[in-house]
Amino acid sequence: MAEAKTRPTKRSVAAFIKGVEEDRQKDCKTLVGIMRDATSAPAVMWGKNIVGFGTYELTYANGRVLDWPILGFAPRKQDLTLYVGRKLDGKLLKALGKHKMSGGCLHIKRLSDVDLAVLEKVVAASVKKTKQRYS
């Protein structure tokens, strides 16, 4: 079985964020703070483009097991992709603001499009569900 390409690296999160488009850097720094506070874990680069926090063992339906961050984000060209998991509170998501959900990914163009207090609640709820499910 092939080894996962997305794994923790020793690359600098700060250097990665400095390399992101200037208008996205502030959003990335804000996300680092929100996710670090929610997980009580430091930011770590996963692969080349994902900033992750904490880790858990994810088991696929076929039995394959790999480590994955409890929370994470990637500043993509079109949007900020937040890896928050599935089955999030629909009421919270409605109150969040402009976003899209795709599987376990929350897509936001920019943080100014959403209510940051609600985003903090969404992130905290995601951490709680992940820890309950995988502990």
Q: Quick one: pLDDT at residue 135?
A: 66
User: What CATH code would you report for 13-134?
Assistant: 3.90.1150
> Which 3 state secondary structure label does DSSP give 105?
strand
pTM of the model: 0.91
pLDDT tens string 80-97: 999 998 778 789 999 999
Q: Quick one: pLDDT at residue 128?
A: 92
pLDDT band with cut points at 50, 70 and 90 for residue 42: very high
Please identify which residue in the block is written with the tokens 């992101």: 20
Contact status, residue 99 vs residue 108, Cβ threshold 8 Å: yes
Mean pLDDT of 18-30: 96
Q: Quick one: pLDDT at residue 46?
A: 96
Question: Residue 114 — φ and ψ, nearest 5°?
Answer: -130, 165
Q: Tokens standing for 104?
A: 């376990």
